[in-house]
Structure formats: C-alpha cells, structure tokens
Structure 1
Amino acid sequence: MTALAVGCPYPPCTVPTRDLQPIRHSELRMDTHHRGRVLTLRRIAPVVKLTARSWTVTQESSSGGTERLEVILHRSNHGQDILESESMFMVKEPYYTLSDQGDPTLRIDHPSDLVVCTGSLGNDISCPSSGEPGGAVAATAFAAPVTNTAKECKDEGNAALKQRALPRALAKYTNGLQLVAKDTAANGSIACDLHRNRAYVNLLLNRLDEAKADGTASLTGIKDQEHQDLDAKAYFRTGHAAYNLGDFQEAKSLFEEQQRLAPSDRDAIAYLRKTEVRLHEQATGEYDFRKIRAGLSKTAPRADAASFDRNTEVKKSPGRGHGLFATRDMDVGEIVLCEKAFCVVWGHEDEALTVMTYDVRDDMIRGFPAGLCKAIVQKVLNNPSQIEKVMDLYGDYQGIGKHLIMRDSGPVIDTFKVHDIVARNAFGPGPVYSGGPRAEEDVRNASTGLWIRASYLNHSCVSNSKKEYVGDLMVLRAARPIGAGEEITHSYNESGDYDARTAALKTTWGFACTCALCLAEKADGTALRTKRRALELEADAWAEVEHAAKAKRISIVKARCLARSINDTYEDVRYNGLPRTALLRIRKWLTEATTRDLAGC
C-alpha cells in the first residue's frame, strides 16, 4: 500500500495571482512557503505518474533554472493528469522542500496553488494574470497570439466534443465566449450556441453549477419554432444539472418549462415524472426500495433517490460539538433518516484507493480512503456551491474556514481540511451492492463514502439507531423508541470486545468512548473481560458449526450452558439496562433452535 505522511498542514494561497509578486528560481529557499510570491514555469520533461503523486521537471522562463514540480494526491482533473494537460504553470506561494526520496522539489498539495495556463500546448495561451505584473510577462514568451474567431472556436469545440475530448471542447467554447465578450459586433446567437454547447459538456464533466449557469445564459426567449426547440434543449440541460445537484423543486420548474416549449418531448415527460417522485420521497420519507434496488448494478451502484431528513435537526450536543436530534417521536423500525451520499467511491471503481498514513500529530498509523478524498476535492472544485456544507463538518484542522473563496476564476480548496473531514466522518457502505458480493474489494480499495447529514451522528455503543445501505442511499432506522428532542446516535464500531472496540475508536475516530456500556466494561477489569471474550469466541465457534434449525436436544443444552457461563461474567447491578453484547450470537442461535421443554444443565 502507498504510504503518506500527514499532520503538517499549511493553508492554500488565498491571494489572486495578479496581486502576487514574481519570484525567481534563484530566490527559492528550502522548507519555505514563499508567501505573497508567484513562480512561472514551463514543463520540459515527461510526467512521472505514481499512485498518489505526479512529478516532472520544469524550467523558469526568465533565468532558465530547472526544478522538480510535484503534485501530491490531487493530480488529475477530469481523468487527465494536470501536469500533462498543459506546458505552462504558475505556482502560487511556492512551497520548496524535499520529496520523499530526498530530492529538492516544488510541492503542490492544494490544486488551487497550481494555475494552469490554458492553451500552452497549442496556439492560444491564457493566464489569469495576463496583462498584470509578474509571471504573466514570462508566460506569454512561450505563446503565440490568439487568432481564432468565436465561430471557429464553436466549430473546433464541436469537433472535440464529437471525439469525446471534453476538456478541449470546454476550453474551445470558453475561448469563443471570451472572444464574443470582447467583440461588441459579434452575433448574439453565437454566444447562445456556445453557452448551450458548453452546458452539455459541463454536464458530462459533472460541473453542475456551470451547466446550470450556461443553460440559463443560452436561453433566447425568441418565439419561433427553431428558437423554442433550442430553448427547450437549454431548459433540459439546466434541469438535468439541478436534478443531479438534488435541487428537485428547481429541476421540476425547469422541466415544466421544457415541456411547455416541447410538449411531446419524451425526455421532458420522463424527467418530470422522476422529479415528482424525488419530491415525494423528500417530503414523506416513503420509498419504493424494491424498485431502487432493482435499478442498481455494478456499473450503476448509485441509487436514483432523494434524501429525507425532516425527522432530524442539527443542534449542539453537550461536550460533543454538534449532533443529530429527533424532531418527533419515532417507533422501532421507523425511518429516522434517508440520505444520498454526497460522494462515494466503490471498491471496484478505478478511483478506489486506500493508503497508509503516518500522522505526526498523534504518532498514529492509519488506513485512509485517499480515493474518496480525491473524489470529494474534485467534486467541490467542479461545484463550488457544495463547498460550505462539506467544510462545515468536523475535522481536526480548521484551515481557511468553511466559507467559499473564489480566486483566479476558481474555488480555493484546503485539501488538508478535506483530509481531516474524511478521516472523521466517512463511512463504509457495507460489503454488498445490489445483493451481490464485491469479491474484488479488499483493504487496499475499500468502498467508502461521505454522507453530510449522517456525519452529525454521534457515537454510542448503546445506540438508538441502525443503518443499512441501498446502493449509496443510507437508511437509518430507530433501533428502539426515540422521543422528540432526543439525540440520535449510532455505533461507529459494533465489536463486542471492549479492548478491540476502544482501540478502533481511538485509532480511526480519535476519541475514547465514555458511554455507560464502556464505563461498565472498563470497570470489569482486564481479567474478567479476557475470560468473557474466551467464552464468547467458544460460543460463536459453536454457533458456526451447529445448525440451529436441526439442533438436537443435547446441542441446545450445551448452548444454554455456554450462554449461562457468559452471563455469569456480567454483574447484574452494573449492567442493569445495558446490552450484554457477548451473548448476542448464542442467544440468537437459541432463539432459532428448536424449542423444547428442557430443564437447565
């Protein structure tokens, strides 16, 4: 497994490129964050792509000095390695240090600290600081002037789209819109076409915020049939983006507009019906789980469903930050919460990646779902509207806070904060999808996801809720009656072994549990817990071999003796009202076994 050292976070640059002062290669100092500075570089060597990083050799444009440039973990965008995407880069507040192999390197941990000068592999270069002091002057030294017209950009973008070269298509449509903005005599229909086409590309790239904006900008409002057909297409793309963002009420309005302009359009009819189902789920918590499960497969493991959270609210939990609380009384088995994952990476997907991390803050080695962390960073980079709800979750490192910061036409993402949020809030969605085992999944590529609302659930070994998964839809049900205003809890680790459970909670989640069960088991002492654990393992082994449905009388007697021996390790007063977890499996076996009127052993 890949290993990474963590725990030495630093904030990303929050200064626009135009306000940074240029720095030269000769001014770089080891183990230094050069605050307030920017370095312009050209890639002069092939990119070396490793599991959790990429690096290349670059050259400063003015002095010709060469330096290694390394991007850690967040090295790709839309499936393309960032260092391979272009040849010109601007490094904001460069961090000069040693690589893991001991080589001097410019290290990039935050994607927003590396500004890609688009078009530097072709004829048309664009840097955010063009025309400003500093690196932009050097950047233009490697570029030819822009000569395209908006119409040419549209045609080239269409050709790239036909070839599924989505990043290039996006760049061409964007270039065309930039040209239209500079040319007051440009045809307005070209701008609408570019926005409409770019909306489609943004949908394919899951840039949903931009897809909505482009779809709206492409509307003509002209009443003839040709333009109404084009506007219907724009409404569909905008509605599709809103639907995928979970904004179902907005999506419904947009699909209704599409249907008004194109009454016979089957896509409009189908999506309007789907959206009405999502709104019903969102309002009532009523789901057709059978239908949802039937729609899942290895290639489509994400449920088409809405989140239902009306039975819960987020409030402060004394001594534990925030928690999730019931807004009404709920009976056993009743749905407390249904939530679609904000982001999930399944073990069979290429994005799945688990790494070992050594955290210098607490001297602990942990397994970490790096693939999920990468996917979340990519999602919020593409959809800035989603940033604040993710960054509001608990993490050990506060960084630049939770509020959206836009610089150089993109959001600033503190990847160290995302790392700690994932480490403290991610869940594994279980060992099955659509009813079938994932044989290819192991510790190196475990499925992991982030559920925003469920992240506010605090832990208790004696929890009042249980979760299950339907694809990436988490279904939380009441494990016992829950009263209005009561905090909802679930177990982060369900091991019946106190020592294993407390070690796992400390290692994975970073806290020591002080619930009533843990306090009782701690008071038992090591010797008694060891005896109980040995009896539990013996009982579990027995239940594994003996089939309850075919149990003979002597087997039932043996099982009752084992259960009694385990129960004798629990002190009645101390465990009054608490679960006796070591008894769970053997008692289940006895319940399933043939019932007979037997005397004790």
Structure 2
Amino acid sequence: MTESHPLRGKLPPRRLAKEELARTHKSHLKKQDLTPDAPRPVKQPLLDQAYPASTRSIRDLEIVPLSDLRIEEHHRGKGVVVKVISPPYVGAGVISLVEDELGNADKIAIYNHSDSSILSGVPEGCIVAVKEPYYKYNGSGEDYMICVDHPSDVILLRFTDPIIPELLRLGPLLKSAVDWRSAGDKAFIERDFPTAVFWQVLPVWSRSYLSNKQCQALEASDDGTFRAGIFAKRAGTNLVLGRYDAAKADALASRTGASSDWKAYFTAGRACYGLCDYQTSRGYLESALGLDPPATSSVKKEHSRCLSRLYEESTGSYNFEALFDSLSPTNVHLDVASFLSNTRVADSPLHGRGLFAARNIKAGELIYVEKATLMPNQYEPSRASAALYAMMVRQLYDNPSLASTILSLYGGAYQRSGHEGDLVDGVPIVDIFLVESIRNKNCFSAPLSTLDDTRPTTTSGRMAKGLWLHASYMNHSCVPNSMRSFLGDLLISRATRNIAEGEELSQQYVPVKALSDVRQAQFLAGWGFTCQCALCEAESRGSRQMLQKRKEILGRIERVCGKNTPNKGVLPDSAIRTVDRLTKQLEELHETEVYAGLPRLALVYPVNWLIQAHRGRKAHAKVVRYALRLLREFGFRAPADEDANWEPREIYNGKGGASLMTIHVVTALKYASEAYKALGRTDLAARCEEAGRFGYMMVTGFENDLGILNG
C-alpha cells in the first residue's frame, strides 16, 4: 500500500470485529511458538517513505477513538489511548490487539524497541498512548493496523495516569510497596530484566517515563530508606540492561548519607564507565573507596580498570598485539579507551566540519585511536547494516545522553525537526529515518581485524558495520594523509606521510576507483559531494577524449589479465608481451601536465599483474623494475632505474607530490626485497623489507611480520 492508494485519507469501508482479529492473532501466536529461538528480524526504514517522529506531548494532543483512524494517514495533532488485550506476537516488531474505551478493537505494531524494553513485548492489560498515529493498510482485504515506527511515538502509561479514560482503568494490581518490590525482585532473579524494570521505581529524571507499576512502589511508601532501596535495585537492573543514563540517575537517587552509599557510587561509576566517561567514573569510584566499602577488592578492581582507560586516553599507549590475540568471534568489543588528543574538530574548507591535526604528526605515527560508539557483533554483510541501525535506535532511546553527539552527525538531505533527542513525556524523541540517514552517511565497514584481512587465505566479505563518531568528521580524499585499520571495535588511524599542525586530516571513504568519472559518480551517489582532492581536481582538467581512450585500453587489459591469472602458474610470453604493450599504450594516454607528481591509478592494475607474472618466472630484475614502477604509479618517489641505489623508507616523507598508501605498496616493497636478495643486493633488500614492514604497520595498525603476505 502506498500513499497513492484510492482509499488514502478515508475511513475503512469495514473494520474487522474483535473476534475476527482475535482468531487471526491466535493463529499467528501458534506459529510463533513453533520457532521460539528464531533470530529476530529488523524492519529497516525506507528513506523514500520517511515521516517525522511526533514532537508533542500526549497531553497536548486530541485523544480520538480507534474508529476515527483513516487509511494511510499520519494523524497530526491527535493521539489514541488503548488497552492491550492480547499476548504479543513478536517478529520484526511486536503486534498486539488493542481496545479503546468505546470497545473498538484494532491491531498495533510497535517497532524498534530493544529487548530490554517492556514495549518490545507489551503484556496484556497494559495501557499505551500512541502519538500522532500512522494507520497503515497491510495490502490485502480489510487488514489495517496502527504502525509505530518511531519508538518515542508510543508511551506506556501508569494505571493511575489521569489521561486514561475511566473505562480503561484497572486500579492498582498490588496493594503495598513491599508487594511491588517483591514482584520486581522475583523478575530480576528469573533474569526477566524488562519485567523487573516494569515493577520497579521510576528513574528520578522522569516520573512519567514508565508505567504505574514502576512508580507504584515509590508512591506506596514514604519511608526514605525503603525508597532508597528501590532506587538501588532499579539502578542495578538498568546497569544489567545497558541503560547507563538511568542506572547512574537511580544510583545517585539511592544515596542516604550513610556509609552504605558506597554501593550508589560504585554503581554510578560503573554506569559512567559503560558510557566511556572514564573521568567521571573515576570520581564516583574514588567516592566509593572513600567510604571504606566491605567489597573493597571489587571497587579497587573497577578503579584500576578506569585508570587504565584514562592512561590510554592521555597517552595513546596500547598493547595492540595483546588486543589482537584477545579477539575472537565472541570477543569483538575490546575494553579500551579512545585516544583523540592529537586532533580537533573545526570548520572545513572542503565540506562542513573536518578533523585537523593538533600537533605535528610524523609518517607512521598514531593520529587517533577510537573505540566504536556503536558496533554490533554481526559480520554477515546482508545483516550488518540492519543490525547497526537497530542498535543506534535502541541506544539513543535507552541512553539519551548519546543524542548530542550521534544526532549532530551529517544526515544528508533529511529534514530535521530540531527536537530530535529532546525528552517529551519522559522519553527521548528518536526519529528512525534520521537515524538511518546518519547511518548511511557515517558508518564504516570493519573486518574482525585488518591484519587477518590481508592474509591470502582470508574469507572475503566478512564485514561488520560500526559508528565511530570522531572518524566520521574526517573528510574524504582519494590521496589521503591517513590510513585506518581495525581491531574488533577499535579503529586505528595512522599518518601515511608527515602532517603539519593545523593541516586537515583526510581518509578514503571507500577504496578509490581507477577512473575519475566512476569515482565521482560513486561519491555523488553515496555522499552527495564531488571530490576536489589534488588528484580529482587535476583530472577534472584532463581531456574527456583521453579518459574515454583510457577506459577502452584498460578494459582490454582486464580481459587479457582475467584469462591469464598469475596464480595459475608460469604465464606464457605472449600474454606478458600483450599486457606490456597495452600498458605502454595506456601510459601514453596520461597527460603529463595533468599527472605530474600524482598517482596514475589506471596503470596500477596492469603493472601489479606484470610484477606477479615476472615473479612467477623468477625474472628478478623485471620484478624490481615493475615494483618500482608500481610505487611511482601510486605517487611515491621511486627511481626509474632498477639498478639505482636508493632509500626505500624515504617514500613516506611526503615530498614530491600526492601519494596513495595501499596494501599493494607493501607487497611491491616485499617483492622488490625478494628480488634484490636474489640478485645479490642484500643491503637494498633489507632496506626494502624495512620499508615494507613500516608500510604494513600503517595498513594493519601495528607492527607485523611481512611473512603473513606470503603468496
């Protein structure tokens, strides 16, 4: 159903009766029971169907009956208050049957709530309010439902909330504060954490955030000690659920002024640690230690861990080898802090804001190291994007403090309301379409480790998707001055040449294409900009006719090379001669006035093929010749004479023009080293190997043996 449907904006010709809805819902529940452990899918938004989240309080809206809802309409200025009258059917969202005060029944589908939220499976009997509901046609017969995409558009109401119509009121389900606390304790012991939160006390920063059951324990008692205990239990539950904002608030609300407050400071410190706010975490943990806690060893352990993170933040000192060894498919979220002090965010002459060097940085040095703000452990490419989107939505809802940083990122042309992240009715406004726009423009693809990704036997395509806020500020260049690598959820950025203080830092958004028009089309489609780096700006002055001829020759080369791959053994002389001849023709099509001091990326593929071809034939002098040429095609200063005595490490000093660092530069140095050694030039072989190891550190993030690249 689209908004062009002829019934759009009209009342349904017929609505299904409650009994009909119940029969269909019951049949779905039976199917659900057959596959209780099936992975839960994610409904990822389509940006061409975007609509804004409600920014108004439910108390400012006109409450209407379900019978007033019109097909495919977003009912601006209106809201519904309904009671859930069925168990939830859990799929990509949660589908329940609901009823209003007049006895009208309908379906509601709630999407994008995390498993830690009671709204991810609303219990029967709860009262919910939907703000500015979207009434959706499901594509067949008389099937309609209220579709809640934005998690902040639905509110779980307290049973005593005056906005609930009299006929929907149930009254308190338990009588005493002790009863409410016991219900929460039982749910916690059974590890049903959303229900435990449902029974426990409201967070101090928003008494309307959750339901009647959550505030009932608080309202049922005037005993300060009892109330403090409820807050403390709620803080512990929120900590387990990863709701660090609420855990911190509840923990601080549980203080009584007694020495037992060490527990409150301990929980608040752990919550701040979860938010990567290590400085504040240290303060709370030191307050806990100052109260001489019985569990001194546990607090000291957390304090020591916090000091380690602060040391990493200030020094950029990491044991990358140990971090690499600790990685596994079940351990991708490393316990480390970000090191960002070498950089600063400022307005960029290229696009919006950018990242700039706060000091002089030498080639190979760390520019920054950043732990992912959000990165799901999902390395299946078909699911990785959806997993990151879902995590972003749910974390913004569960931890509103993240909004100020995540929602400030570039979101393309999506129209913002200016209220995203604001607390309304006790919950943060989360616009899922803005979140998806930000994800599209700012996420990175990451292997489990870049080191493993360079191995010849690595399975290709195993990439997670993550959001690194600091890295997102870096603008693109086809010939960047930095290179990023990954260890789990850690992004490592190193300088590929010497960088001066105040210079803008750049990175490649994606591996660059050899032909300029293909590159520009990719950037325009993906990010909405035209690249103006040194290479692209020079190529824009080149001849379109010459570009077309380069395309034709490169296509011919690719066809020949595709039929003669070096890994199939010794290649015939005829194939090598053909590729060599075509490569010379391709070189002649590069205008000297355009490419002086710049990479000639169209030549990289055939030259690299020729290195491999001559290496397979053990033609060592030719391997050196083409390896040096490959360095030059990437823009590095290397001699044209294979007999020259030169200093390989000097290619990284940035002199002589723009250059592009890639794994192919490393392998060219490695193969040159092998060939020099075979030719008896052992000193030059050692220097090439050293330069290769240095380059490999830039590629993988830390020092590694070039032997990994055997092949």
TM-score where L is the length of structure 2: 0.70
Q: Does 1:306 align with 2:337?
A: yes
Give the Å deviation of 1:446: 4.8
1:545 match: 567
Distance 1:325 1:398, change over 3 A: farther
Contact 1:343 1:375 in 2 (8 A): yes
**2:105 corresponds to which letter in structure 1?**
T
Cα offsets for 1:32-68 (capped at 9, x unmatched): 2222221122344554544x44434433331x23333
1:23 match: 64
1:210 match: 246
- Which protein shows a greater Rg? 2
2:135 match: 96
2:424 match: 407
For residues 101 and 510 of structure 1, the distance between their equivalents in structure 2, rounded to whole angstroms, comes to 38
Cα offsets for 1:543-568 (capped at 9, x unmatched): 75289xx9999999999778656544
Q: For residue 293 of structure 1, give the secondary structure of its aligned residue in structure 2.
A: helix
Q: Does 1:468 align with 2:485?
A: yes
- 1:34 is aligned, of 75, 79, 99, to 75
More helix as a share of residues: 2
Distance 1:590 1:91, change over 3 A: closer
Distance 1:5 1:173, change over 3 A: closer
**1:107 corresponds to which letter in structure 2?**
C
For residues 123 and 528 of structure 2, the distance between their equivalents in structure 1, rounded to whole angstroms, comes to 39
Distance 1:4 1:281, change over 3 A: closer
Give the Å deviation of 1:241: 0.7
1:178 match: 215
**1:249 corresponds to which letter in structure 2?**
Q
Distance 1:440 1:328, change over 3 A: closer
For residues 460 and 3 of structure 1, the distance between their equivalents in structure 2, rounded to whole angstroms, comes to 30
**1:178 corresponds to which letter in structure 2?**
C
- 2:598 is aligned, of 562, 578, 600, to 578
For residues 58 and 335 of structure 1, the distance between their equivalents in structure 2, rounded to whole angstroms, comes to 56
Alignment of 1:380-529 (within 5 A): 380-395=396-411, 396-401=413-418, 404-430=421-447, 432=449, 435=452, 446-498=463-515, 500-521=518-539, 523=542, 524-529=546-551
For residues 214 and 441 of structure 1, the distance between their equivalents in structure 2, rounded to whole angstroms, comes to 46
Distance 1:220 1:313, change over 3 A: same
Q: For residue 594 of structure 2, give the secondary structure of its aligned residue in structure 1.
A: coil
Give the Å deviation of 1:264: 6.5
Q: For residue 375 of structure 2, give the secondary structure of its aligned residue in structure 1.
A: strand
1:6 match: 47
For residues 5 and 344 of structure 1, the distance between their equivalents in structure 2, rounded to whole angstroms, comes to 21
Distance 1:398 1:327, change over 3 A: farther
For residues 406 and 520 of structure 1, the distance between their equivalents in structure 2, rounded to whole angstroms, comes to 49
Cα offsets for 1:323-375 (capped at 9, x unmatched): 111122111111112111110013258xx864xxxxxxxxxxxxx81221111
Identity among equivalent positions (%) equals 31
For residues 334 and 585 of structure 2, the distance between their equivalents in structure 1, rounded to whole angstroms, comes to 46
**2:50 corresponds to which letter in structure 1?**
P
- Shifted more, 338-347 versus 490-499: the winner is 490-499
Cα offsets for 1:59-106 (capped at 9, x unmatched): 3331x233332334x154427762544553221111223335684332
Q: Does 1:67 align with 2:89?
A: no
**1:208 corresponds to which letter in structure 2?**
Y
Cα offsets for 1:480-516 (capped at 9, x unmatched): 1212221111111213332553443333333333433
Contact 1:494 1:501 in 2 (8 A): no
1:115 match: 155
Q: For residue 597 of structure 2, give the secondary structure of its aligned residue in structure 1.
A: coil
Q: For residue 131 of structure 1, give the secondary structure of its aligned residue in structure 2.
A: coil
For residues 78 and 353 of structure 1, the distance between their equivalents in structure 2, rounded to whole angstroms, comes to 25
Give the Å deviation of 1:412: 1.2
1:362 match: none
For residues 310 and 528 of structure 1, the distance between their equivalents in structure 2, rounded to whole angstroms, comes to 44
Residues matched between the structures, number? 557
Give the Å deviation of 1:206: 0.5
For residues 100 and 476 of structure 1, the distance between their equivalents in structure 2, rounded to whole angstroms, comes to 49
Q: For residue 554 of structure 2, give the secondary structure of its aligned residue in structure 1.
A: helix
For residues 402 and 473 of structure 1, the distance between their equivalents in structure 2, rounded to whole angstroms, comes to 31
Distance 1:577 1:442, change over 3 A: closer
For residues 175 and 454 of structure 2, the distance between their equivalents in structure 1, rounded to whole angstroms, comes to 53
Distance 1:394 1:4, change over 3 A: closer
Q: Which has the higher contact order (CA 8 A, sep 6+)?
A: 1
**1:206 corresponds to which letter in structure 2?**
G
Distance 1:45 1:263, change over 3 A: closer
**1:309 corresponds to which letter in structure 2?**
L
Q: For residue 402 of structure 2, give the secondary structure of its aligned residue in structure 1.
A: helix
**2:374 corresponds to which letter in structure 1?**
C
For residues 403 and 288 of structure 2, the distance between their equivalents in structure 1, rounded to whole angstroms, comes to 29
Distance 1:287 1:404, change over 3 A: same
For residues 472 and 512 of structure 2, the distance between their equivalents in structure 1, rounded to whole angstroms, comes to 21
Q: Does 1:251 align with 2:281?
A: yes
For residues 533 and 518 of structure 1, the distance between their equivalents in structure 2, rounded to whole angstroms, comes to 21
For residues 566 and 198 of structure 2, the distance between their equivalents in structure 1, rounded to whole angstroms, comes to 60
For residues 137 and 314 of structure 1, the distance between their equivalents in structure 2, rounded to whole angstroms, comes to 54
2:17 match: none
For residues 541 and 306 of structure 1, the distance between their equivalents in structure 2, rounded to whole angstroms, comes to 48
For residues 55 and 516 of structure 1, the distance between their equivalents in structure 2, rounded to whole angstroms, comes to 54
More strand as a share of residues: 1
For residues 454 and 10 of structure 1, the distance between their equivalents in structure 2, rounded to whole angstroms, comes to 29
**1:93 corresponds to which letter in structure 2?**
E
Contact 2:177 2:218 in 1 (8 A): no
For residues 495 and 541 of structure 1, the distance between their equivalents in structure 2, rounded to whole angstroms, comes to 24
2:28 match: none
Contact 2:113 2:394 in 1 (8 A): no
Q: For residue 7 of structure 1, give the secondary structure of its aligned residue in structure 2.
A: helix
Contact 1:559 1:590 in 2 (8 A): no
Distance 1:209 1:388, change over 3 A: same
For residues 168 and 213 of structure 2, the distance between their equivalents in structure 1, rounded to whole angstroms, comes to 21
Q: For residue 446 of structure 2, give the secondary structure of its aligned residue in structure 1.
A: coil
Contact 1:40 1:91 in 2 (8 A): yes
Contact 1:468 1:476 in 2 (8 A): yes
Q: For residue 128 of structure 2, give the secondary structure of its aligned residue in structure 1.
A: strand
Q: For residue 418 of structure 1, give the secondary structure of its aligned residue in structure 2.
A: helix
Contact 1:369 1:446 in 2 (8 A): no
Distance 1:47 1:168, change over 3 A: closer
**2:593 corresponds to which letter in structure 1?**
V
Distance 1:423 1:258, change over 3 A: same
Cα offsets for 1:9-36 (capped at 9, x unmatched): 2222222222222112232223322222
1:153 match: 180
Distance 1:431 1:257, change over 3 A: closer
For residues 441 and 32 of structure 1, the distance between their equivalents in structure 2, rounded to whole angstroms, comes to 47
Give the Å deviation of 1:382: 0.9
For residues 478 and 559 of structure 1, the distance between their equivalents in structure 2, rounded to whole angstroms, comes to 34
2:375 match: 344
Q: For residue 338 of structure 1, give the secondary structure of its aligned residue in structure 2.
A: strand
For residues 450 and 495 of structure 1, the distance between their equivalents in structure 2, rounded to whole angstroms, comes to 21
Unaligned runs of 5+ in 1: 118-125, 223-227, 355-367
For residues 11 and 334 of structure 1, the distance between their equivalents in structure 2, rounded to whole angstroms, comes to 44
- 2:299 is aligned, of 268, 275, 280, to 268
Distance 1:111 1:403, change over 3 A: closer
TM-score where L is the length of structure 1: 0.82
Q: For residue 174 of structure 2, give the secondary structure of its aligned residue in structure 1.
A: coil
Give the Å deviation of 1:413: 1.0
Q: Does 1:335 align with 2:366?
A: yes
Contact 1:464 1:488 in 2 (8 A): yes
Distance 1:487 1:541, change over 3 A: farther
Contact 1:75 1:82 in 2 (8 A): yes
- Shifted more, 565-574 versus 488-497: the winner is 565-574
Distance 1:100 1:394, change over 3 A: farther
Contact 2:118 2:195 in 1 (8 A): no
Unaligned runs of 5+ in 2: 1-40, 202-211, 609-629, 631-664, 681-711
For residues 353 and 81 of structure 1, the distance between their equivalents in structure 2, rounded to whole angstroms, comes to 27
Contact 1:173 1:198 in 2 (8 A): yes
Contact 2:66 2:104 in 1 (8 A): yes
**1:203 corresponds to which letter in structure 2?**
L
